[in-house]
Amino acid sequence: MEYSCDIRRGKEELTVYGELWEDGEGLWNSWGDTGRNFEVEHEPAFEILEIYNDENKSVSLNTLTSREIRVIIDIFTADYWDHVL
């Protein structure tokens, strides 16, 4: 499945595309004091494939900072769990 998100870098907006590399795993449990909860046992893994700037020009993957990568993966992960649960 393809994933995409938009992030800002200064005044520029980047559109990032990626794909699911490995499914996440989790289980539902139920406790008397907290009720029914989903516990993630393994987060999904993603591969970032392409980046485009606001002029629709390709941007090198090597320009991503570690913080930007974490933000992108967090967005992809949240989107993944929103669609799985």
- State the chain's mean pLDDT as an integer: 95
CB within 8 Å of 25: residues ≥ 6 apart: 40, 41, 42
pLDDT, residue 31, reads: 85
Residue 84 scores a pLDDT above 90: no
**What is the tens place of the pLDDT at every residue in 55-82?**
999 999 999 999 999 999 999 999 999 9
Query: Average pLDDT, stretch 34-41?
Result: 91
φ and ψ at residue 55, rounded to 5 degrees: -100, 10
Domain ranges of the chain: 2-84
pTM: 0.90
